[in-house]
Structure 1
Amino acid sequence: MTDRLPAAVLWDMDGTLVDTEPHWMAAETPLVEQFGGTWSHEQALQMVGLGLHDAARILQDEGVRMAADAIVHRLTDDVLASLAREGVPFRPGARVLLQSLRAAGVRTAVVTMSMRRMAQQIVDLIEFDAFDVIIAGDDVTRPKPHPDPYLQACAALGVDVVDVVAIEDSPNGLRSAVASGAVSIGVPLMVSLAGVGADALWPTLAGRTADDIAAVFTAVRDAPGQKGIA
């Protein structure tokens, strides 16, 4: 059996490409406290991978008396300001894997529930042409864990979802990828992905190349009962 590369690899951003989750958590706490509430680490973990408007509704339930759109923009502004001060922390191995995929001719997309202006700013910090498409939270009607964001990315790339690999770090994001029909690789960061349905779980992207992606893709698509690609 010869390993085959997928037509595209679709990347989650927050927690997968870049370790921005602590910045989001740091932005949530003062917002809740501004309205007299408290915000625990455990509550923050439940927000990982959610669409921003879903997260905003949770914050409203905790007493934040702001419209959902205003909450989304406030959090995005605070996170961008934090990243401007401290720099963007790419996850270990992410840029090297991206370079390997691009060198192999594999198309790539970012599929994130962050706003497009934030996704674009982070993508612009990568020193090479890393992505063909960005699908952001303000581009989709139904956010993760629905499959729509990944299906929309496939449509934008002009590829079939059975021909792609998705990489995710959160349960909600992984559920979205799995539901779309993509071959799904989980790389957990803050929350366990056990039992969520990933085709492969990697502890880190460090040391991974396009060959590793091809091995997972081929093993899944050639497994009995799977829809293969001719």
Structure 2
Amino acid sequence: MDHPSSTTALTTAGGLAALCLLTACAGYTPTPLPDTAALDAAVTATGAAQPTGTPAPPESDTGTVQTKWGPLSELDRDLVRKVRLASLWEMPMAQDAVQRADAARVRQISEEIAAQHHTLDRQVRDVAGKLRITLPVKPTDQQQAWMTDISGRSGPAYDATYVKWLRLAHGQIFGLIGTVRGTTQNTLIRRFSEQANAAVLNHQRLLESTGLTTPESFPTPPS
């Protein structure tokens, strides 16, 4: 899904700086994929592989299916969809915070978060196209409630609410990324999970750098 001109503006100078920061934060090079260049050259924008003229099979939403990158599990698909959902609400809220946040630091980190989500969303759509995963097109009810809560505030209360909900959301998906990275047998998902891990970890650090994170900003620890 393409985004309006405000997203494009954020991915110029600010986007390049954010990507450099993302790379530095990751501290490693994502797992390389096997050499499938000849096959990938035939993959269209929608992910329909046509190396032999045979269209890719339709996606299955249940169980594990075989792909040229290895088995694709339900958990693998869940990660791809949840990263997409994260971008659907966090990117527009970060763009909004660039304009509305009270503190200069919150405006600064929001520009980086928005730019990095633009890149992450492009990666998620590429992976979903290749693996025939249907992506959500709007945030969940909970995410929309967070957006409403943030948008309805102003001044320092806007900043605190924005940081609280984004930090909580990043903490929730962080565990899923680790689980998928440790269990997936699909090389494309393994590499994507590393890209998502680098982005989410960096966003947590940026949000925490505002000094606005409180106990409410963190997921409830397991008992």
The normalised TM-score by structure 1 is 0.25
The structure with the largest strand share of the pair is 1
Higher helix content, 1 or 2: 2
